[in-house]
């Protein structure tokens, strides 16, 4: 699980072009949206693509994204349970 979280942080930085942030800067429980990493609506949509492309998970309802993308912890949990890749 730890490995997945580290991998996830790296992918998030890459896919969202978070140039001035490193993997070490992101805490597993940091809020990704709002006050934490400050991601926005387009970033949320990109994370949905990330789930599909890297882990083979297609979100049936994009609104689920809100809870799944709360933090690296919640994302990793969801991926671990639902990945097909």
Partner 1 sequence: MDRPLYISHYSKIENGRISVDGNAIFHTDEAQFFAFIKQAFKNQQIDYSKFYKMDNLSKLAFLAAEVLLNEEEDKEDIALVLSNKSASLDTDVKYQGSIQDAANFFPSPAVFVYTLANICGGEIGIRHGMKSEHVFFVSDEFDAVTIFNYATYLMKSLKAKKVLCGWVELFEENYKAVLYLVEERGTALHTTDTINKLVKN
Partner 2 sequence: MFSPVYISAMNCVTPLGLDLHSNWIALLEENTGIDMHTIGYFENIYTAKIKNLPTVRSDLTYLETMLYLALEPLVKLKNLDTKTGFILSTTKGNIDFLSEGKSEEAHLNKLAVKLAHLFGFITQPIVISHACVSGLLAVSVAKRLIQMGQFDEVFVLAGDKVSEFVLSGFGAFQAMSANPCKPFDLNRDGVTLGEAAGAILVTKSDENALVEIVGEGAINDANHISGPSRTGEGLYQSISSALKEAGIAASAIDFISAHGTATPYNDEMEAIAFSRLGMHEIPINSLKGYYGHTLGASGLLELIISILSLQNNKLLPTKGFNLKGTSKDVNIVTQAMDIPLTYILKTASGFGGSNCAAILKKMNG
Q: Which residues bind partner 1 (CB under 8 A)?
A: 16-20, 42-43, 45-46, 49, 52-53
- Closest C-alpha to 75, from 16, 17, 20, 21: 16
> Minimum Å distance from CB 16 to partner 1?
7
* Residue 34's binding partner out of partner 2, partner 1, none, with CB under 5 to 8 Å set by partner kind: none
Q: DSSP assignment, residue 19?
A: T
- Angstrom distance (rounded) from CA 19 to CA 14: 8
Binding-site ranges for partner 2 (CB under 8 A): 40-42, 45, 48-49, 62
């Amino acid at each position: 699980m730890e490995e997945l979280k580290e991998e996830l942080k790296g992918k998030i930085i890459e896919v969202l072009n978070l140039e001035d942030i490193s993997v070490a800067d992101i805490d597993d429980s940091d809020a990704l949206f709002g006050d934490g990493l400050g991601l926005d609506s387009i970033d949320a949509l990109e994370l949905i693509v990330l789930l599909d492309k890297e882990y083979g998970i297609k979100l049936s309802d994009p609104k689920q994204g809100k809870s799944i993308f709360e933090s690296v912890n919640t994302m990793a949990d969801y991926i671990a349970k639902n990945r097909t890749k």
